[in-house]
Amino acid sequence: MTDLATPLGDEVLALRAGDQVTLSGTIYTARDEAHMRMIEEGIPFEPKGAAVYHCGPVVQDGRLVVAGPTTSARMNALTGFLLDAGVRALIGKGGMGSEVVEQLRGRGVYLALTGGCAALAADRMSLKGVYFEDLGMAEAVWIIEADHLPLTVGIDAHGGDLFSAVHEKAKTQFHQRFNIR
C-alpha cells in the first residue's frame, strides 16, 4: 500500500494499474460544467501536482454530507488541458477512454474510488472552499482536504489500464460462452 499526498510529483510514475493506494491533501472536484468553465476561463487553482476528483457532492451548511465519485468517462474529451497544465491524478469511477490513457502516459494516473461510497468518501474529507459556486452544488469546483482516501490505480502512467484489461477478458468470456466467432 502506497500513501500519496498532494502536491503529487514523479512518485505517481512508479505506480502500476491494480496497485492500492491512499491519497491525502488538497483535491479539487470537477464535473462536466466545471471542465467546460475551466477550458474557457482558466484553472482557478494551482494545477501543478494537483488531483482532480470527478464528484458532485451534497453540501449543506458548509459541510460535506456525501461526496462519492461520478462516472469519469463523461470527462474523456475534456481532460487533456488539465494534464497539460500539470495535474497528476484524476479520481473517479468507471475508468476513462483510450485518449486519456495516452494523455496520462509519463505524466499521471487515474485513481478509482469505489462507486457509491459517498459516506465513506465524506468521512475522509473536509470542505475547504469553492470556485465557480454559480454552477450549482453538483457542478461547482469544491476545494477538499482528503485524509487517506482508499483508491485503486485504474490507469497508470505506462499505458496500463485495468478497466480495458478486464473488459477485453469479459469480451472473450462472452464470445466463448455464447459461441460467437
Stretch that binds other proteins, among 34-42, 68-76, 103-111, 126-134 (CB under 8 A): 68-76
Count Cα neighbours of 145 within 13 Å in the Cβ-side half-sphere.
5
Least distance (Å) between residue 49 CB and other proteins: 26
CB-based contact 143:45 (threshold 8 Å):
yes
Residues 100, 40, 126: CA angle, nearest 5 degrees: 70
Query: Which of 86, 152 has the CB closer to other proteins?
Result: 152
Query: Which of 43, 67 has the CB closer to other proteins?
Result: 67
| CA 96/CA 89 separation, integer angstroms | 13
For 43-175, strand residue ranges (E) read: 51-53, 58-60, 63-66, 89-92, 109-112, 125-131, 141-155
Query: Which of 10, 123 has the CB closer to other proteins?
Result: 123
Query: Which of 43, 135 has the CB closer to other proteins?
Result: 135
Active-site annotation, residues: 35
Q: Check binding of 137 to other proteins (CB under 8 A).
A: yes
Q: Which of 50, 83, 117, 157 binds other proteins (CB under 8 A)?
A: 117
Residues 18, 152, 48: CA angle, nearest 5 degrees: 110
Footprint of other proteins on 21-50 (CB under 8 A): none
The C-alpha cell at 116 is 457509491
| CA 12/CA 159 separation, integer angstroms | 13
Q: Which of 15, 21, 55, 144 binds other proteins (CB under 8 A)?
A: 55
Binding site for other proteins (CB under 8 A): 18, 20, 55-58, 60, 65-68, 70-71, 73, 93-95, 112, 114-120, 122-123, 136-138, 150, 152, 154, 162-163, 165-167, 169-171, 173-174, 177-178
